[in-house]
Every structure is written in C-alpha cells, then in structure tokens.
Amino acid sequence: MSNEKQRGTGTNEIPGPFIETSMWRTLVEESYYSVDVSARRSAAKALTVRDLRALLEKLESGSANEQVAALVMFLDVVLASAPAMFESVADVRSTLDQVHTELCDQLVALATNWESQRDSEWPDGHLPLLNVPGRAYFVLSQLDRERAAHFLIGHFDYVKLSTWEREEVIHELIGLCSVPQRQRSETAMARLIEIAEEAAPGAERAIDFLRGLRLAQQCIRLPHSLEQLGVTGDVWESWSVRLQPPGTFDFDDSVLEEALRNGNSGLSAAALLFRAEFAREKGQDSQILTFMQRAVELLPDNPATLDAIVGNLESFHRPGDALRFAERLAEVDPEFTNRWRVGKMRYLSGDKAGAIEFWRSLPFYKEPDGEDKLKLYIDGCERRLVQYEQHKASKK
C-alpha cells in the first residue's frame, strides 16, 4: 500500500510530503468537510515529523485557508492519538513530541487575535464557524490543557468582559476541567474556584459546575438545613468549594478558621458541621462530636445544630448525652419526629417506663392504631439496644 493510501487519499499519486497530496489541496481549496473524517484520521496517523514541520510552516503562511487546513490536521493528529479524546495527554504528546513546544507556541500566537464571537454577530441564532484564532485555541485546549488555561486567563480581562464573554470564558474553563482528574487543568480549576468564591459576575455557572463535580467525585455533603442555619445556597457553595476543594479529599482548616471569624454564626456553624462530615468520611470519629459541639455552642437553639448532635451522639451509643439536646430540639421545633425522639433517647438510656409514658402523651397514641405504633417504637428501640450490646462485645 502506498503512503498516499495510508494517508487516506485513495489516489495513486507518487508518495511524497503530505502538503503535496490531493487531500491537502482539497482541504485548502475546498473545505475540510470535503474530506471524509476517517480518511483524515488515517492520514493523520501516517504523518511524519517532516510533515508536521511542514504544517507548522503553513500556520505562519498568512493564508487563512492554509492555516485552517493545518489546524484541522493537527487536531486530527491529536484525536487519532487519543480516540476517546480524554485519554492521557502523554499519549498525545508521544505522537507530537518533536514539535510539541513549537506547535503550542504557534497556537498561542494565532489565538492571540481571538475575540469573543458575540451573539449580535449571528441574528439568525446560528453559530458561525470558528475563525483561525478560535480554531487555534481549540487545538491548544485538546493538546495541552494547562497551556490553554494560562492563555485564557491571560488573554481575557474577566472583569471587563460582557456577560456573554464571561459565559464564554467560563464555558472554556469548564471544558478544560471536564475530563478525568489526572488530565484536568489545575490552573483552570483554580480560576473557577476563584470566580466562585469571589461571587464574581457569572459565578453561578462556575458554582454549579464545581458543586456537580464535587458531588460526583465525593460522598461528602452537608446533610443539614441551610435554611435553618440562615445561609443561602449561593453563599454556602462559594465557601464549601474552598473548605473542601473539588477533586480532592482534603479539607482546608485555614478556610474553616476564616469562616469562624467572619461574624456570621450560621455560616460558622455550617462550616463546623461540614468539617464534622469530612471527619466522618475520613474515619476520624474522635473529631466528629468536637466539631458538632462547637456548632451547638454557636447556635444552641438552632434545629439544625441540635438535630446534628442528637443523631451523632446516639450513633456513638450515647443516648443519655443526647437526651438533653433532644429535649431542647423538641422545644424549639416541636414537630412530631423531634418529640418522638425524646422518647427514644429516654428508652435507649435506660428509662424505658418514662419513655413509654412520654410516647403515650403524644397525639399519635390517641389514634386507632396508636398502641400498634407504640409497640413498633418499643421493638425498634429493643433492636437498637441489642446492637449496642453487640458493639460493646466486639470491643472486648
């Protein structure tokens, strides 16, 4: 098989440099749409270092048609080297290793003239084809995400951008992070976090992305009511991405201290409860109650902090300690579950008669199935006491 056929032209031309093939002429004189994608990819796989350097020269030719054709082929090399598009960048670099630095430099130089293509430029609602600078950036973003992130941040003055332009920049930053963690641009991630924590214009989309990323990667969350704590969702998200950076299993205690100094008791309590959940995730059981108790000290009459410490004290088989918090919770928020739990803590701490008497004073007991419900509550507590004993025996 000739080199031409390896390159996918399907012709019988004399083998030679790629820029002398019929495929190249078609790309330049017509459009890359005129060449089958699979043929281009096959040709891209067969390109030699000499071919790649010739394409580099075409990027400097000043001819938009040649520049676009060369960019298309470089992109095909990248994609042919990483068919899933999200494979290791190292795999891509192995193909382009000998021209990688020069290519990145030229892509940055071409992308320098990139300006946002605003919606006012297409009144019919259709996106125009990317111009040469836009294409250059796209190839760079697929080849070297870190270099692309540095370019984006340095090229666009975020504060001075229009609403549309900010959305476009955030979209591109997210694109550099929407890959497996080991390929993600740390620079792009850091900028998204910065935009989120500063609540900068357009931060909502960055916050949504970071929230989704964290929840997708980690099982750590704040299972308590922000509304009860008096903290809005946007404010919490801007802090939470700093407290527990997305894509990591670390907690920044310096940010926790900052939250505790900010003067907002609700936010401080939320941060402490979040830290307690992180301790649970890391198996740091001895720290969980310490952070929860500090949250209760800040908001001693708040349903969220009281509910958290009651549930956790009981989970550590300390129903007697949980009882006073359960009683206070039932006073500040007398809904049925909170009052029922007072009886549960009494039963589990040894005051079975007092618990049953308390349950019988609640409205449910006057219902036709009240006695049956009471038996279910008692059975549930007895099973829990068996678990207490089994746990104690396992520790001997």
Q: How does residue 39 score in pLDDT terms, banded at 50, 70 and 90? A: confident
**How far apart, in whole angstroms, are the C-alpha atoms of residue 19 and residue 284?**
63
| C-beta of residue 120 within 8 angstroms of C-beta of residue 127 | no
**Tell me, what's the pLDDT at 246?**
67
**Tell me, what's the pLDDT at 333?**
95
- Mean pLDDT, the chain, as a whole number? 83
Q: Is the pLDDT score of 69 beyond 60?
A: yes
Q: How does residue 223 score in pLDDT terms, banded at 50, 70 and 90? A: confident
What's the token pair of residue 210? Answer: 């970071």
Q: Is the pLDDT score of 85 beyond 60?
A: no
Q: Is the pLDDT score of 219 beyond 90?
A: no
b/e code 70-100 from CB counts within 10 Å (16+ = b): bbbbbbbbbbbbbeeeeeebeebeebbeebb
Residues 322-376: tens digit of each pLDDT:
999 999 999 999 999 999 999 999 999 999 999 999 999 999 999 999 999 999 9
Question: Domains in the chain, ordered, with CATH?
Answer: 220-302 (1.25.40), 317-396 (no CATH)
Q: How far is CA 233 from the centre of its chain?
A: 16
DSSP annotation of 62: S
Burial of 150 (0-12, 13-18, 19+ CB in 10 A): middle
Q: How does residue 94 score in pLDDT terms, banded at 50, 70 and 90? A: low
Q: How does residue 92 score in pLDDT terms, banded at 50, 70 and 90? A: very low
Residues 103-125: tens digit of each pLDDT:
999 999 998 887 655 444 434 43
Between residues 47 and 218, the one the model is more confident about: 47
**Tell me, what's the pLDDT at 95?**
61
